Amino acid sequence: MGKGRLVVFLLFSCLWLVSAFHVCDPERYSQMGLDMSKFAFCDKSLPFNVRAKDLVNSMTLVEKALQLGNQAGGVPRLGLPLYEWWSEALHGVSKTGPGVFFNNTVPGATNFPIVLLSTASFNETLWKTIGQVVSTEARAMHNLGMAGLTFWSPNVNVIRDPRWGRIQETPGEDPYTVGRYAVNFVRGLQDVEGHETADDPNSRPLKVSSCCKHYTAYDVDNWNGVDRFHFDAQVTEQDMVETFLRPFEMCVKEGDVNSVMCSFNKINGIPSCADPKLLSQTIRGDWGLHGYIVSDCDSIEVMYDDNKWLNGVQEEQVASAMKAGLDMDCGVYYQNWTVASVEKGKMRETDIDKALINNYVTLLRLGYFDGAPGYDSLGKDDVCSKDHIELAREAARQGIVLLKNDNVLPLTPAKFDKIALVGPHANATDAMTGNYAGIPCNSVSPLMAISGIVKSVDYEVGCQDVSCNNDTMLFPAMEAARKADATIIFVGIDNDYESEGHDRYGLHLPGYQTQLINQVAIASSGPVVMVMMCAGGIDISFAQNNPNIHAIVWAGYPGEQGGPAIADVLFGDYNPGGRLPITWYKANYTDAVPMTSMQLRPNDELGYPGRTYKFFNGSTVYPFGYGLSYTQFSYNLVSAKQSLLVKLGRLQHCHDDLDYVPDVFMPPCRSVLVDDMKCEDVVDMEVQVSNTGARDGSDVVMVYSRPPTHILGMPQKQVIGFQRVFVRAGETETAKFSLNACKSFGVVDKAAYLVLPSGTHTIEVGSGSGSGSASADGSFTIPFSVDLQKEFV
């Protein structure tokens, strides 16, 4: 290609910087001196897979290799521009990754609360709506040349250990809840109205492309000399199926996510990005992915530099990853080494062809080649709109969790002439935005918000920052509390303590923060409210049990509208209804088990406790699902099926691999493989939720199942459904649940089979304010009998 034509190509490669760009624009080809009609991949009458195959078949091997990285190099002679695949949108369009940038045209994007806080709302409609808003802003920025169309979000790793630095990015410790978040957020990002399903899913148009990551068993970043680049996660197949794989399976099968990202770590000795069982066999084969698989950035380089995988031979490494089913390398190893790998006979060129076809079908579905008329008109006015900013505030309000209230909250502004705001997070803005954030539209700190509500505010930081390395600022904070009518203490941690690459070593507040809280509480002349900003749980037993601290609120990292959202809750404009999506352990938990132990069930031999609410039976600071309200709710069961008879056919066999407590009755047919069942049986249940208090409010109705008590090694209970229900004071609403019997009562046995056990299961219905058993909050349990009958010949 001559220099003149190359200049024109580069100009039109960057045309999307100023307008909605699409590859197959006749005028664009004409100005490059090319005849678009000669390129079948621009023929809109052909199916996407045919067009993608034609494009790939038109390339040389060298050209193909250059398209395999996150920065796909383009092919000038075909009119194919470069494309940057790496953009992020975890809780708003992010500045992480080279695919997004901000400037004077779009200086920021709506910054929603961290994922963990949004999850605490337990509101599936909210999760999907956030995804829709984020994708609208992403598409608008793409039209302005400031973002790509492929966003590597969400993070759906299950939280196994409270020390993990990336807890804020994920939807919690319950696999089902994580999966439901993934399904809704992905649908919000990807779905084009009217095209939610299709006979050929690979032809279904996409608003933007989403990616569920990091696959899988990844939750160690940098702890005690062990980092994610070298960590070999030793995981049982039972834990893989039951916990680590389930959210990804739901994301692919129910969310129809377009992409999955494999993680850095090894799993049982094999790098996840080079494991054919995990990639091609499971993601694409068993689950039916419609899209592409991408590596976490530089994962193949990590195989070479850190793991010496396959004796440290680059051609072998890229071949093993490609043949395992990895379509794209976020990095340059594919681009640098695939040609040599093919030439040395380590892999076939057709392996590259299949990968590139998967990638380009994605771009065709996004309208990158043909345009997207429904979205091409989006522009700067669709970013940081008033409605989007209000949704960020509402998301934070819905997620905020009331942990303690000695009849102090909500505060009435007219009763307090002066309020003291103390602590390192009282004027937080950057800390509120969390990890993987973009540039917010307009961050409003708690100090700014509360100053607009009450007559007078006295602000003292108390600590220079969250490290709180000295006590020199404590006395002014105590004096402010002594002179004020009420005191609000804002404490916690930030990205320096918990984020990517930063795992924690303990569960205490840093430095002198505990001393700050206790001394301010003693000095205060009025009620004391403590607001926690953190993601992972912190042992605040001292404050929980301190009569001088009258209320505690968890606000996570609440996003750019965190200040107004917190104020809405504290001063009664919003009744909190959030529930903790993780267990808050006591500090000694970290002494009992190393972070690198992957096992979920207790290890009696080593004295390790269980992990998550499903297997941990020790005392906690706050349990999973906990949260209070300014009103009271009661439950009444309207209807529920309480038994299921399953008559097994000739080809359905009793599965007897479950272990029972010695000397108890064992059913003749202990269980049946779920894969051998049609799984059409549904348990319909209606629960009336009555607001018996004086304030309107929302309650989260949590539904758990408990397996038959005599089966060994099973979860104590597991979430099978939830609904957030708004109920006006003195009124009643009905929550309806349709529980699939296989999914709700199935368990994973030690051989990693998903089975439906015979016997009496228990359905537990409750809010997060009680223990989950029958209690004053109206929680209750229902016995549910599963009878498996097999005619034995």
Catalytically active residues are 296
Amino acid at 131: G
Dist CA 720 CA 694 (whole Å): 31
Dist CA 642 CA 683 (whole Å): 8
* DSSP at 240: I
Region at 760 (left for phi over 0; alpha for psi -120 to 50; beta for the rest): beta
Q: What is the DSSP string of 424-464?
A: TTTT-SHHHH-SS----S----HHHHHHTTSSEEEEE-SSS
Dist CA 654 CA 673 (whole Å): 8
What are the phi and psi torsion angles at 212 (to 5°)?
-90, 130
For 223, 475, 651, 756, 789, the CA distances from 677, given in Å and listed in that order, are 43, 68, 10, 9, 13
Q: Which two tokens stand for residue 42?
A: 């621009």
Q: Which residue has the tokens 């070593």?
A: 505
- The answer for residues whose C-beta is within 8 angstroms of residue 442's C-beta and 6 or more apart is 108, 384, 389, 560
Helix (H, G, I), strand (E, B) or coil at 612: helix
What are the phi and psi torsion angles at 102 (to 5°)?
-120, 150
Q: Which two tokens stand for residue 651?
A: 């080809």
Dist CA 669 CA 666 (whole Å): 8
486 has which bridge partners?
419
Q: Which residue has the tokens 């290890």?
A: 603
Longest dimension (CA), the chain: 86
Strand residues in 674-717 grouped as ranges (E): 682-691, 697-706
Q: Which residue has the tokens 């494309």?
A: 83
Q: What is the DSSP string of 193-207?
A: TT-S--SSGGG---S
Amino acid at 417: D
Dist CA 154 CA 225 (whole Å): 28
Assess whether the previous peptide bond of 581 is cis (omega < 30° from 0).
no
Dist CA 577 CA 553 (whole Å): 11
Assess whether the previous peptide bond of 119 is cis (omega < 30° from 0).
no
Dist CA 42 CA 34 (whole Å): 12
3-state percent breakdown (helix, strand, coil) of the chain, nearest 5: 30, 20, 50
**CA angle, 390 then 394 then 399, to 5°:** 150
**CA angle, 378 then 379 then 381, to 5°:** 110
Please report which helix (H) or strand (E) contains residue 765, including its range. strand 759-766
**CA angle, 749 then 750 then 752, to 5°:** 65
Helix (H, G, I), strand (E, B) or coil at 43: coil
- The answer for residues whose C-beta is within 8 angstroms of residue 149's C-beta and 6 or more apart is 87, 138, 139, 142, 206, 208, 209, 363, 366, 367, 368
Helices (DSSP H) in 468-561: which residue ranges?
A: 474-483, 513-523, 541-544
H helix count then E strand count, the chain: 23, 29
Assess whether the previous peptide bond of 214 is cis (omega < 30° from 0).
yes
What are the phi and psi torsion angles at 338 (to 5°)?
-70, -35
Among residues 770, 52, 744, the alpha carbon closest in space to that of 361 is found at 52
Strand residues in 467-568 grouped as ranges (E): 486-492, 528-533, 551-554
